[in-house]
Amino acid sequence: MKFNTRAIHAGQKPEETTGAVMPPIFQTSTYAQQAPNVHKGYDYARVGNPTRTALEHLIAGLEEATSCACFSSGVGAIDAIIKTLKPGDHVLSTNDLYGGSYRLFTSVFEPYGIEFSFVDMTDLQQVERSIKTNTKLLWIETPTNPLLRIIDIQEIAELSTQRGILSAVDNTFASPYLQQPLLLGADIVMHSTTKYLGGHSDVIGGAVASNNEEFMEKIRFQVKTSGAVPGPMDCYLTLRGIKTLHVRMERSVENAKVIAGFLDDHPLVEHVHYPGLQNHPQFELAARQMKDSGAMISFSLKDNTTERAFQVMSATNVFTLAESLGGVESLISHPASMTHGSIPKEIREKAGLSDSLIRLSVGIEDVEDLIADLDLALSN
């Protein structure tokens, strides 16, 4: 089956007792057993729930993975992945990544003895040089957040395979509609389903998918043992959201392309970061690796100050000033003080994340209204 069909049908079948087309919300904590440990596949809802199973099968189908495990949040999913490592292990990560991942790595896991380094993963030689004897995991995020750089998943996955290291891709920004890391050779794919997969800004969730069953066994052990599991209602909402993923993505990307062009021509805008613009440093890689150029845009202002960025952001009416991304509504945010506030200023600026940088998550409104909104905000 092709992608759009899978988004609706992968791993889904009408519920057995009633024929319900959508999986019911199995709001239960436990399941009756016929005799001790004789049951219908479910014993206790921390370990498993049929609504969650339906969602896991759907996401596995989209990422073309043999299995998937869902979590109560994206960071819960990342937490479970890192907990498969041991003290003394080293993780090599991209230096331009989600602020919450950076905080989890450095504030929670570093004190427990897991080592992290952050490098520019668009430079394969730098990645190669930074691999240590104790490196166990390469952590990739592409397009990167918020600078929309593109990391070559296939190259990094080949390198990690040669060195016997696992590679994991945070695929939140692209969604499986635009990019399927496992097909490019990565071992693990992770999502904050809060974003494009859920798609309606009404639920928090995370997912890990892989074809490596030995690894997935460790992840399922984490689900059962650490317990960051999503509730059935949240699974249902995410599942319902995914069924329109392809339609939402198509429209968001179409809008984003027009907006990126508008900003690129705007006299008060210094630079637009968007993989679909010809001036993007990895325009060709993006075209090869992704089905299309995405719906996230960031841009800096000629007046490179936080004050000016704040003025612009508080003047929009259609774009809502908020963290997060990937919903049907367009959002505007200030990475330096919001999503990336936990990254020290020197590190931030070294990575190119300037004070005036504004990030847009482009939704599915009429693009004329979105452009008029930005035009007014920029000229205010």
By CB under 6 A, name the binding residues for ligand PLP: 73-75, 98, 100-101, 141, 145, 170, 172-173, 192, 194-195, 204, 206
Active-site residue, selected from the candidate residues 42, 52, 98, 149: 98
CA distances from 43 to 217, 218, 369 (A): 18, 19, 51
Q: Which is nearer to ligand PLP, 195 or 340 (CB)?
A: 195
Output the six-digit token pair for 108: 């929670």
Closest approach, Cβ 205 to ligand PLP, in A, equals 6
195 tagged catalytic: yes
Q: Map tokens 């750089």 to a residue.
A: 149
Q: Which is nearer to ligand PLP, 75 or 343 (CB)?
A: 75
Q: What's phi and psi for 10, nearest 5 deg?
A: -55, 120
Using CB atoms within 10 A of its CB, is residue 35 exposed (0-12), middle (13-18) or buried (19+)? Answer: exposed
224 tagged catalytic: no
Closest approach, Cβ 333 to ligand PLP, in A, equals 11
Residue pair 173/142 in contact (Cβ under 8 Å)? The answer is yes
251 tagged catalytic: no
E strand intervals along the chain:
67-71, 90-94, 115-119, 135-141, 166-170, 188-192, 206-210, 269-273, 296-301, 320-321, 331-333, 358-361
Q: Which is nearer to ligand PLP, 334 or 367 (CB)?
A: 334
Q: Which is nearer to ligand PLP, 131 or 290 (CB)?
A: 290
120 tagged catalytic: no
Active-site residue, selected from the candidate residues 31, 43, 46, 83: 46
Closest approach, Cβ 172 to ligand PLP, in A, equals 4
Output the six-digit token pair for 40: 């219908």
Q: Of 140, 184, 187, 199, give the one whose Cα is nearest residue 7.
A: 199
Closest approach, Cβ 72 to ligand PLP, in A, equals 8
Q: Which is nearer to ligand PLP, 73 or 201 (CB)?
A: 73
Closest approach, Cβ 368 to ligand PLP, in A, equals 28
Active-site residue, selected from the candidate residues 79, 170, 292, 373: 170
Q: What angle do CA 148, 149, 150 make, to 5 degrees?
A: 115
C-beta neighbour count of 288 within 10 angstroms: 12
> Whole-angstrom Cα distance, residue 301 to residue 265?
12
Active site (catalytic) residues: 46, 98, 170, 195
